[in-house]
């Protein structure tokens, strides 16, 4: 099946109100396990590469690997550069074959975010690449077990600005802030679903949620029903994966394990874990 952009995957998800997972694809074990899960459950999938989380892995090695794996999949799989913050990195990812890029100008003044996003869209759309942008700021750090859970209202996405932003930039998806945080939530999450529904009613493009780890099953269903189409998920899975490996390795020196066994274990973990997440998002059978 050919590699697809996030636009092709997410428009259908918005229409039919299910969530599509965007998963960190930091190494082969993650990629193989995630695609196996998507194929078995006939679900669309987005593979994300983050230089912030895996700076040791060169983009020139990672992105072609994601693209090749997605192209070989038997279900629709998109690839995306996650949180690209400069044009040079985004152009490099496009030249390496990614089907989608995310430009994160959320820390910029509004008009500057609009201007830079429009330039990314102009370049990417010229070669058929989808673009996600961000408006409002998602606090915290992905991959951290100690993110601050309290949202800052001034950083939340304004529904009217979201409408203006989408119309002026022509982005294919919009990442928003409505109380979501990167990393693990401390205490009970406080998500402004009324704000989410207001944004959904004002914009025509699919909405993306970054910082979606560790919520209750009921809350995921509410988030998707309220208008989120792309669910970016890593921290909780990363913590579970590390715990699974600790069980395998046991106390130092107790278990005689060779490294290739670790690779096989990791693939099995990400396949099993991803299948559970796909069912939770309601996208099984949607491919």
Confidence class of residue 186 from pLDDT cuts 50, 70 and 90? low
Spatial separation of the C-alpha atoms in residues 98 and 66, rounded to whole Å: 8
Count H helices and E strands in the chain, helices first: 10, 10
C-alpha dist (Å) from residue 80 to 84, 99, 189, 208 = 10, 6, 27, 13
CATH classification of the domain holding 187: 3.20.20.70
| Catalytic machinery residues | 82
Q: Report the pLDDT averaged over residues 177-185.
A: 79
Q: Report the pLDDT averaged over residues 112-125.
A: 98
Structure-block tokens of residue 217: 């099953």
Q: Report the pLDDT averaged over residues 172-199.
A: 86
pLDDT at 145 (0 to 100): 46
Residue 1 inside a domain? The answer is no
Residue 225 inside a domain? The answer is yes
pLDDT at 153 (0 to 100): 43
Asked whether residue 257 carries a pLDDT value surpassing 60, the answer given is yes
Extended strands (E) in 94-194: 100-103, 130-135, 139-140, 173-176, 181-182
pLDDT at 149 (0 to 100): 42
Longest Cα separation, the chain: 60
Spatial separation of the C-alpha atoms in residues 52 and 14, rounded to whole Å: 28
Residue 52 inside a domain? The answer is yes
Higher pLDDT among residues 182 and 24, named by residue: 24
Residue 33 inside a domain? The answer is yes
Bridging pattern class, strands 100-103 and 45-49: unpaired
pLDDT at 183 (0 to 100): 67
pLDDT at 251 (0 to 100): 74
Residue with tokens 């912030």: 52
pLDDT at 99 (0 to 100): 98
Confidence class of residue 155 from pLDDT cuts 50, 70 and 90? confident
pLDDT at 214 (0 to 100): 79
Asked whether residue 36 carries a pLDDT value surpassing 50, the answer given is yes
Asked whether residue 158 carries a pLDDT value surpassing 80, the answer given is yes
Asked whether residue 1 carries a pLDDT value surpassing 90, the answer given is no
Residue 275 inside a domain? The answer is yes
On average, the pLDDT of the chain sits at 91
Domain of 26? Answer: 6-281
Higher pLDDT among residues 149 and 13, named by residue: 13
Confidence class of residue 115 from pLDDT cuts 50, 70 and 90? very high
Q: Report the pLDDT averaged over residues 233-261.
A: 88
Q: Report the pLDDT averaged over residues 140-145.
A: 48
Confidence class of residue 142 from pLDDT cuts 50, 70 and 90? low
pLDDT at 148 (0 to 100): 46
Residue 203 inside a domain? The answer is yes
Asked whether residue 69 carries a pLDDT value surpassing 80, the answer given is yes
Higher pLDDT among residues 186 and 141, named by residue: 186
**How confident is the model over 190-210, as pLDDT tens digits?**
899 999 999 999 999 999 999
Confidence class of residue 189 from pLDDT cuts 50, 70 and 90? confident
pLDDT at 185 (0 to 100): 64
Number of domains in the chain: 1
Residue 249 inside a domain? The answer is yes
Residue 287 inside a domain? The answer is no
């Amino acid at each position: 099946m050919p590699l697809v952009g996030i636009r092709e995957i997410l428009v259908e998800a918005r229409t039919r109100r299910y969530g599509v997972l965007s998963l960190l694809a930091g190494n082969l074990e993650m990629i193989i396990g995630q695609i196996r899960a998507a194929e078995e459950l006939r679900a669309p999938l987005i593979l994300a590469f983050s230089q912030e989380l895996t700076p040791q892995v060169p983009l020139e090695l990672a992105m072609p690997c994601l693209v090749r794996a997605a192209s070989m999949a038997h279900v629709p799989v998109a690839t995306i550069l996650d949180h690209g913050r400069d044009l040079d990195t985004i152009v490099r990812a496009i030249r390496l074959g990614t089907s989608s890029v995310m430009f994160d100008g959320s820390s910029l003044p509004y008009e500057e975010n609009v201007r830079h996003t429009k330039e990314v869209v102009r370049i990417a759309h010229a070669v058929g690449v989808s673009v996600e942008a961000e408006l409002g700021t998602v606090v915290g750090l992905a991959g951290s077990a100690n993110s601050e859970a309290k949202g800052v209202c001034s950083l939340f996405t304004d529904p009217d600005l979201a409408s203006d932003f989408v119309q002026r930039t022509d982005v294919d998806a919009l990442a928003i802030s409505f109380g979501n945080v990167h990393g693990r939530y401390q205490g009970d999450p406080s998500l402004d679903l009324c704000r989410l529904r207001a944004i959904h009613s004002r914009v025509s493009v699919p909405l993306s949620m970054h910082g979606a780890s560790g919520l209750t099953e009921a809350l995921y269903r509410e988030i998707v029903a309220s208008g989120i189409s792309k669910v970016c998920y890593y921290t909780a899975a990363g913590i579970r994966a590390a715990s699974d490996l600790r069980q395998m390795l046991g106390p130092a020196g107790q278990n005689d394990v060779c490294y290739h066994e670790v690779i096989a274990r990791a693939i099995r973990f990400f396949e099993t874990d991803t299948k559970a997440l796909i069912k939770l998002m309601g996208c099984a059978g949607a491919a």
